[in-house]
Amino acid sequence: MLQRAFFVVVLMVALGSQALAKEIVFAVDATYPPMEMLDANKQIVGFGPDIVRAIGKAAGFTPVLKNTAWDGIFAGLAAGKYDAVASSVSITEERKQTMDFSEPYFEVQQGVVTAKEAKITSVKDLAGKTIASQMGTTGYFVAKKIEGVKAKSYDEIGLAMEDLYNGRLDAVIADSPVASDYALQHPQYSKKLKLAFTIASDTPEYLGIAVNKGNAEVLKLINEGLKKIKANGEYDAIYAKWFQKK
Amino acid sequence: MSPQRQSPTVKIDIGDGAAIPSKKDRGLFTAWWVAFVGAIVILGSLCLSYPDPYWRILAFLPDGIVVTFQVTLLSILLSLALGLVTGLGRLSQNRVWNLLASTYVEVIRGVPLLVQLFYIYYALGRIEAFSNLPPLAAAVLAMGICYGAYMGEVFRAGIDSIDKGQAEAARSLGFNRRQTMALVILPQAWRTILPPVGNEFIALLKDSSLVSILAVSDLLRRGREFASESFLYFETYTVVALVYLLITLVLSKAVSHMESKLNYYDRS
């Protein structure tokens, strides 16, 4: 009996302390270096997670990062499995109809990665080629719209890069930081792959943090924090940490 | 070999395919109709009353269904061939053949199919000779090799179930080993083997959804692509599940029909 009472007290304390520092759970698909990835200790690291942690510190909440597969990441948000998606989500009109977005935290273009010896320098050269991207990403939407190509969708961008590396694909389209990370930084892929070009777009593409429609409370905290870290230089420091030319 | 001698009607319950309805099993027989009519009515009424999005989703899937069938049919052919060789090997007096077949079964059955798919496509892809293997071929190879191991056990059990007297009679009539197997044992074993083979066939069709991991545009992948763009997860997976259900129900009916046709001695 005493044991049970003790257990209840411990439980209450545990719950109480959680309530003090508000926890916000962010879903992250950690397969997208350098934006989001797992390090050797299975910790979620990258530009995105650093930004989220900094936002949390600035806005006074405890961010909890939850590694979630991209496929279904928005369904999980709608189902209330987490409060937000911070996983290099491009802000698009279609997505805005089902979710609310924070202020943009990054601008991306779509980068095209090819084999080093390939003679592909523009969208026109892609005609008749097999190109790929990650399913449900803006890269794949772009790939599908290019005329005369065979567009394939992969579960993870890494699998598409692997197939490109093995010569089964002609090109892979991904967010520019990710494309250049694979093509320029990766010790193995960079030997065989190159960042051929980036696809020019009429409208700039921004990444934002997605929350469920109407979740103003969380959105306000995120925007507050983002504004603060942009003002106090922390954002620039994180940016430099991940994207400074090495 | 005389017709008076009833061969034992052995039922082999292997595999995780759909339950195959037979007229003897009233419950399952009715359940088949409930499921089949129910699936058609639900799918039809959804498409008619809400063409957007349900009809849109259904119209997005046909090429995926074709790919699913391609993968399934090619894999089943490969697995039947492998299964026959393996099943015979498992019963063979030839030590090397026996050991090879048994090891194949042990190894393949001990590795999950999803891992095998990854292995054949991505891991072996790093080896020059395999790097040009197209995804569809890799999918068929992986599924065929995997199910070949299971099929081998089905063949073995089926051949084992034939009364020893059959082989003895054939041998005493002057048939050699090969003739005995090909002309006497296998034709009889086939009747016992067919239901579990049909079962494996249906299980294989369902497992073919795993090949979507290789970026093969099968039924499931088409559904996932649709859902990831439209965010209509509930609607899309409802349609995908119903389509899979309809296909497996039709197949299980076909298998049960074939089975009753082959049951010469067991007609009631």
pLDDT interval class at A192 (50, 70, 90) = very high
A98-107 residue pLDDT tens: 999 999 999 9
Residues of B in contact with A141 (CB under 8 A): 229
Give the integer Cα–Cα distance in Å for A56 and A60: 6
Enumerate residues 6+ apart whose C-beta is below 8 A from B66: none
pLDDT interval class at B23 (50, 70, 90) = low
Backbone angles phi, psi at A38, to 5 degrees: -100, 135
Checking if the pLDDT of B2 tops 60, the result is no
pLDDT interval class at B259 (50, 70, 90) = confident
Report percent pLDDT > 90 for chain A: 85
A88-98 residue pLDDT tens: 999 999 999 99
Q: Is B122 left (phi over 0), alpha (psi -120 to 50) or beta?
A: alpha
CB distance from B231 to chain A under 8 Å? yes
- Reported ipTM: the value is 0.76
Residues of B in contact with A85 (CB under 8 A): none
The H helix count followed by the E strand count for chain A is 10, 14
CB distance from A167 to chain B under 8 Å? yes
Coil/strand/helix, residue B129: helix
Which domains, from first to last, does chain B contain?
66-215 (1.10.3720.10)
pLDDT higher at A10 or A51: A51
Q: Could you tell me the CA-to-CA distances from B134 to A143, A189, B116, B117, B122 in Å, in that order?
A: 20, 21, 16, 13, 11
Query: Would you call A153 and B221 a contact, using CB atoms and an 8 Å cutoff?
Result: yes
Q: Which of B231, B233, B234, B238 to mutate to test the interface with A (most CBs of A within 10 A)?
A: B231
Asked if B258 and B264 touch (Cβ cutoff 8 Å), the reply is no
Q: Which of A196-205, B13-22, B154-163 has the lowest mean pLDDT?
A: B13-22
Checking if the pLDDT of B266 tops 70, the result is no
Checking if the pLDDT of B106 tops 90, the result is yes
Query: Would you call B227 and A166 a contact, using CB atoms and an 8 Å cutoff?
Result: no
B136-159 residue pLDDT tens: 999 999 999 999 999 999 999 999
Q: Residue A11 burial by CB count (10 A; 0-12/13-18/19+): exposed, middle or buried? A: exposed
Q: How confident is the model over A184-212, as a mean pLDDT? A: 92
Checking if the pLDDT of A185 tops 70, the result is yes
Q: How confident is the model over A54-62, as a mean pLDDT? A: 95
Backbone angles phi, psi at A115, to 5 degrees: -70, 155
Give the integer Cα–Cα distance in Å for A59 and A115: 44
B156-190 residue pLDDT tens: 999 999 999 999 999 999 999 889 999 999 999 98
Give the integer Cα–Cα distance in Å for A132 and A229: 35
pLDDT interval class at B11 (50, 70, 90) = low
Give the integer Cα–Cα distance in Å for B82 and B152: 7
The sign of the torsion formed by the CA atoms of B192, B27, B37, B205 equals negative
Checking if the pLDDT of B5 tops 50, the result is no
Coil/strand/helix, residue B267: coil
Residues of A in contact with B125 (CB under 8 A): 162-163, 166, 168
B188-240 residue pLDDT tens: 998 888 888 888 899 999 999 999 989 899 999 999 999 988 888 899 999 99
pLDDT for A72 equals 86
A71 vs chain B: nearest CA distance in angstroms? 7
Q: How confident is the model over A211-222, as a mean pLDDT? A: 95
Read off the pTM. 0.81
Q: Which among B125, B228, B231 has the least Cβ separation from residue A71?
A: B228
Residues of A in contact with B134 (CB under 8 A): 168
Which domains, from first to last, does chain A contain?
2-107+205-243 (3.40.190.10), 110-199 (3.40.190.10)
Give the integer Cα–Cα distance in Å for B143 and B148: 8
Q: Which of A134, A136, A141 is nearest to A164 (CA)?
A: A134
Q: Which of A22, A26, A25 is nearest to A36 (CA)?
A: A26
Q: Residue A159 burial by CB count (10 A; 0-12/13-18/19+): exposed, middle or buried? A: buried
Give the integer Cα–Cα distance in Å for B209 and B199: 16
Q: State both tokens at B161.
A: 């179930």
CB distance from B93 to chain A under 8 Å? no
Q: Which of A166, A172, A192, A213 to mutate to test the interface with B (most CBs of B within 10 A)?
A: A166
A116-158 residue pLDDT tens: 999 999 999 999 999 999 999 999 999 999 999 999 999 999 9
Q: Which among B122, B213, B215 has the least Cβ separation from residue A152?
A: B215
DSSP H/E element including B29: helix B26-49
Checking if the pLDDT of A2 tops 70, the result is no
